Chains A and B, each alone.
Chain A
Amino acid sequence: MDLGLAGKKAIIVGGARGIGYAIAEVLAREGCELAISARGSDAVKDSVASLKRYDTRVVGGAVDVKKPDAYRKWLEKAVDQLEGCDILIPITSAGGGLGSEKYWEKAFEVDVMGPVRAVDVVLPHMTKAGSGSIVLIATTSAGEAMGGPQPYNAMKASLVTWGKQLALGHGKDGIRVNVVSPGPIEFEGGNWEMIKDTMTKFYDATLRQQPLGRFGKPEEIARCVAFIASPAASWVNGSHLIVDGGFTNRTHF
């Protein structure tokens, strides 16, 4: 099946590691032109260098999504450099944290306003082009309790609601918006690798809940995101796709 991604221009906010990088890699392999960002310049440089082996245009920049002006500027520049934007995948997250109010502020700024600011910048360009595809990344922890009461789960949940609203609001302009919620994903340098060593009981308990007996891999999320983002998924809009190997218990009727 041809996904129709060749030549598409995609922006991935938070594309230097983990699921974000895996998405960038799948899109690059499919022939997309890419702009990726991350907080650290070294991480971006390494990722851009690595993605260039797919022989496609890849640009990147270090940017902190908590700094709105610089962030918007980078997004505009990315649209400029790519000469348009067909696909937007903002995947930044401040991660988990319990107790302090600061975690709410961080999750709001990074998990919510990271995507919001990106969508705000990109929408006019997509509207003008009369087409576009946005994929927001939430989490299975939005739909099922995980890891104690904390802003990460609640803030990510807001993306599911907002994604649907965006889909309804901008469909008329040819813009599709969908949400993908990954379950626990393990990779080198990822949080589950750290949890495995430092909170072994929690890791083992989570692993036991996995019907397939293992955690997910970044590329297993990335392939689904790539499909939903692609023209091949032209009739998928306003949907929320759970990609978790069957980890969550809820039955979706």
Chain B
Amino acid sequence: MKFMMMMHAPRAGWKDAGIGTWPPADIHAHIAFMVRVNQELAARGELVDAQGLALPEEARVVRAAPASGEPVVTDGPFAEAKEFLAGYLIVDVDSAARAHQIAARVSAAPGKGGVPLNMPIEVRQVMNRPPVDL
């Protein structure tokens, strides 16, 4: 069973309150933790993909222009969104319980001063199960 785990970060204040205010050593510790988790998942044969996404300043929203279908590009994620997708992991595991275990581990990634962030991880099943006879 494949699951996507999405790491959402609060959109407001990442610079003034979030990771932007951590001491460099804490940032390094956080990154090292994520790398370690990915290595562990890879060694267990469970890792499908893991990516971090550029910060929301770089995000663009694209729509097709009504008549021409040409891309219309505007800045930033949707204004109403309170969180942004910081990164994601896709794992292939035996059970949902195992996916939840991985998500909890990622959630407890170290933050400022090494204190676990306990950030919310959205866990969604990837729809790749073959259909059964109906």
Binding partners A and B: no
